[in-house]
Amino acid sequence: MVLFSAMIPATQHNRETLNSKVGLVTGSAKRLGRAVALRLAEEGADVVIHYRQSRAEAAEAVAEVEKLGRRAIALNADLGNISEIKWLFDETAKQFGRLDILVNSAANFLPASIVSTTEEIWDASLETNLKAPFFCAQAATPLLRRTLGTIINFADTGGLLGWPGYIAHSVSKAGVVMLTKVLAKALAPEVRVNAIAPGTITMPEDPPEWEADFTKFAPLGHSGTPNDITDAVLFLARSKFITGQTLVVDGGRTL
């Protein structure tokens, strides 16, 4: 063991710093997106806080990042509008001059069964959860190729298991899994693309019955925390030999 360890260059023992890097997290004014943005800042990155309607929360997130000694801006964009997506990344380039990490976390979660799924629910699910991540990736590609950056998409276990009470949502998130694979092939070797599929992640504002229901099926016997997801984001952001993969963070629920 000593001989093996001695053969590894010392730099490989150190975590890659995110200092001087720039991350853009979609939907990062609230909930998991906000937790991801703050974690990137804690690790040394400057951050673009994207929001659509949550202006006050976005401003609060910017203030939190600045307290950590990093730079942040809040940018408003409707991800259902391709021209606004292009503006979002043009403005990022204008303000920071680079982009290293794109986290596609913005999503909706619309309940709808085989009977109750409407055209509006179907279109809204696929537009926000699948179409927007693709066009964000497309707009980010020139910036990410320059920095040998990375894209991290948010799928979820619904896209792997299929939830009959959330049909359009499950289809959209299954699409994210495949989108991750094709983007990884299309953008290699300059840009790595991976996804995270969270299980139930308990947020402070969530009702306790959500966790109780989840723990019936999770072998580990408890739901996840935002730190479980932000740890996964950092792992994928730093992993130079992983691309096209979906990392399942669900306490074993998909077993």
Determine the Cα–Cα distance for residues 133 and 103; give it in Å rounded to an integer: 9
Determine the Cα–Cα distance for residues 166 and 210; give it in Å rounded to an integer: 16
The SS3 call for residue 232 is helix
Is 166 in the active site?
yes
Catalytic residue among 67, 173, 181, 240: 173
Q: What is the 3-state secondary structure (H, E, C) of 1-46?
A: CHHHHHHCCHHHHCCCCCCCCEEEECCCCCHHHHHHHHHHHHCCCE
Is 173 in the active site?
yes
Which residues partner with 61 through β-bridges? none
* Helices and strands of the chain, counted as H and E runs: 10, 7
Per 3-state DSSP, the chain is made up of helix, strand and coil in percentages (nearest 5) of 50, 15, 35
Catalytic residue among 166, 185, 216, 240: 166
Q: Which residues of 102-119 are buried (b: 16+ CB within 10 A; e: fewer)?
A: bbbbbbeebebeeeebee
What are the tokens at 29? 């004014």
Determine the Cα–Cα distance for residues 53 and 191; give it in Å rounded to an integer: 30
Residue pointed to by tokens 């072998």:
219
Catalytic (active-site) positions: 166, 173
